[in-house]
């Protein structure tokens, strides 16, 4: 994880203090303190209704929080101007109304919004480079309506990237994907991490979070209850490791805090039958379910 104090004077990509949101009497965000450094790929993970979309919409400037402060790329998104918007990419829904446009046409059209204007440097991606980056080089002239679901989503990401944003928001980007399309999309995100674009993505899919995130924020009931890399979260004290083996007669399971010490003891008996030996660590799913139960 990048420490924002070591990245010079640039403000962090995102910083919130005491962020709260209520819809009427429904308190949806309960005081979120968050700092996301440049270049992080952060997944906001949580069950439905946890407040993920609300959080992202506040960070994008679509919603105003009830209390607390928000800074995105050094500005308050609620009243940041065009120059700020040009630095942020947002991927919402698919471009369902443009089925007859060709891929290149859509990207040229969107890139046209990033024309130079006074006081700002606009530098939309050259279309062919962008198409190559998202793996659509062969589809430049394909009508959008003919793209497969996975390729369509690549185009959505391309449209979020066209203005070369410093920060990209992806809201549930793989909802409705088949496994292959999902895997392709994860590969795409991995390749984007070289671009130094900070990414904040929401999902309720644990596998997905684990695959793409450099950092996971676990949001439950309007509060962040865990924050760290997938490995760090797995190692958190939400449960023990399990040593499993077959002793010739039955399958045994031994929960332990110290599997190495337990195995040293287990393996000292040369006569013992030990087959199918396995040490099972917490999966992120175990951590997630235990954290949500709490
Ligand atoms: P998530 O994205 O994690 O599923 P949301 O941010 O969409 O969570 O919703 C969090 C809570 O806020 C839910 O209880 C939802 O019903 C409520 N909520 C979301 N949007 C609105 C709205 N526009 N008006 C009233 N309540 C809302």
Distance from C-alpha of 11 to C-alpha of 5, rounded to nearest angstrom: 9
* Whether residue 190 sits in one domain with residue 66: yes
Across 89-110, average pLDDT: 75
DSSP conformational letter for 102: B
Handedness of CA 151, 157, 161, 166 (dihedral sign): negative
Residue with the larger pLDDT of the pair 151 and 72: 72
Q: Which atom of ligand 1 is nearest to the CA of 57?
A: 6
Is residue 6 a part of any domain in this protein? no
Sort 291 into a burial class: Cβ within 10 Å, 0-12 / 13-18 / 19+.
middle
* Whether residue 105 sits in one domain with residue 36: yes
* Whether residue 151 sits in one domain with residue 42: yes
What pLDDT was estimated at residue 262?
92
46 Cβ below 6 A of ligand 1: yes
Is residue 48 a part of any domain in this protein? yes
* Those residues with Cβ within 8 angstroms of residue 17's Cβ, 6 or more apart along the chain or in another chain: 33, 68, 69
* Whether residue 250 sits in one domain with residue 116: no
Q: In this predicted model, what pLDDT tens digit does every residue of 223-277 receive, in sequence order?
A: 998 899 988 887 775 557 889 999 999 999 998 888 899 999 999 988 889 999 9
List the domain range (segments joined by +) for residue 177: 14-234
Pocket perturbation via mutation, ligand 1, pick of 26, 220, 224, 292 by most ligand atoms within 8 A of CB: 26
Q: Which atom of ligand 1 is nearest to the CA of 202?
A: 2
Which pLDDT band, with edges at 50, 70 and 90, does 19 fall under? very high
* Whether residue 144 sits in one domain with residue 258: no
Which pLDDT band, with edges at 50, 70 and 90, does 93 fall under? low
Count how many domains the chain has.
2
3-state secondary structure (DSSP) of residue 64: coil
Above 80 in pLDDT, residue 65?
yes
Which pLDDT band, with edges at 50, 70 and 90, does 5 fall under? very low
Share of the chain above pLDDT 90, in %: 38
DSSP β-ladder status, 14-23 and 26-36: antiparallel
Rg (CA), the chain: 23
* Whether residue 258 sits in one domain with residue 130: no
Q: What is the mean pLDDT of the chain?
A: 84
* Those residues with Cβ within 8 angstroms of residue 89's Cβ, 6 or more apart along the chain or in another chain: 160, 161, 162, 163, 165, 167, 168, 169, 197
* Whether residue 165 sits in one domain with residue 65: yes
Do the beta carbons of residue 124 and residue 164 sit within 8 Å?
yes
> Whose alpha carbon is nearest atom 16 of ligand 1?
49
* Whether residue 164 sits in one domain with residue 89: yes
To 10 degrees, what angle do helices 149-161 and 179-192 make? 20
* Whether residue 168 sits in one domain with residue 87: yes
Do the beta carbons of residue 132 and residue 154 sit within 8 Å?
no
* Those residues with Cβ within 8 angstroms of residue 261's Cβ, 6 or more apart along the chain or in another chain: none
Q: What is the CATH number of the domain that holds 201?
A: 3.40.50.300
What pLDDT was estimated at residue 191?
75
What pLDDT was estimated at residue 2?
43
Q: Which of 200, 234, 268 is the last residue of a domain?
A: 234
What pLDDT was estimated at residue 293?
77
53 Cβ below 6 A of ligand 1: yes
pTM for the model stands at 0.78
Residue with the larger pLDDT of the pair 68 and 197: 68
Across 185-195, average pLDDT: 76
Of 231, 234, 214, 226, which Cα lies nearest the Cα of 37?
Answer: 214
Across 53-82, average pLDDT: 92
89 Cβ below 6 A of ligand 1: no
117 Cβ below 6 A of ligand 1: no
> Whose alpha carbon is nearest atom 15 of ligand 1?
49
Instruction: Return the biggest CA–CA distance within the chain.
Output: 81
Distance from C-alpha of 114 to C-alpha of 25, rounded to nearest angstrom: 40
Share of the chain above pLDDT 70, in %: 88
């Amino acid at each position: 994880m990048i420490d924002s104090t070591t990245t010079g004077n640039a403000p962090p990509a995102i910083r919130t203090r005491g962020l709260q949101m209520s819809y009427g009497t429904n308190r949806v965000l309960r005081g979120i303190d968050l700092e996301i450094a440049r270049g992080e790929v952060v997944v906001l993970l949580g069950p439905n209704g946890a407040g993920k979309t609300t959080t992202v919409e506040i960070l994008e400037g679509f919603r105003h929080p009830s209390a607390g402060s928000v800074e995105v790329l050094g500005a308050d998104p609620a009243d940041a101007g065009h120059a700020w918007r040009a630095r942020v990419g947002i991927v919402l829904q698919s471009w369902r109304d443009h089925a007859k446009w060709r891929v290149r046409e859509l990207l040229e059209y969107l890139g046209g919004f990033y024309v130079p204007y006074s006081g700002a440097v606009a530098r939309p991606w050259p279309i062919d480079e962008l198409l190559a980056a998202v793996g659509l080089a062969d589809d430049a002239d394909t009508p959008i309506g003919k793209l497969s679901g996975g390729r369509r989503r690549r185009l959505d990401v391309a449209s979020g990237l066209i203005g070369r944003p410093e920060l990209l928001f992806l809201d549930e980007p793989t909802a409705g994907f088949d496994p292959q399309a999902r895997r392709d999309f994860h590969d795409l995100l991995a390749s984007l991490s070289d671009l130094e674009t900070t990414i904040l993505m929401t999902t309720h899919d644990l596998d997905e979070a684990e695959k793409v995130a450099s950092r996971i924020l676990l949001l439950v009931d309007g509060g962040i209850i865990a924050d760290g890399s997938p490995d760090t979260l797995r190692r958190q004290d939400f449960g023990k490791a399990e040593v499993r083996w077959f002793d010739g007669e039955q399958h045994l399971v031994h929960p332990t805090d110290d599997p190495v010490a337990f195995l040293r003891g287990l393996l000292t008996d040369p006569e013992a039958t030990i087959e199918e030996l396995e040490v099972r660590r917490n999966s992120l799913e175990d951590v997630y379910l235990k954290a949500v139960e709490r």
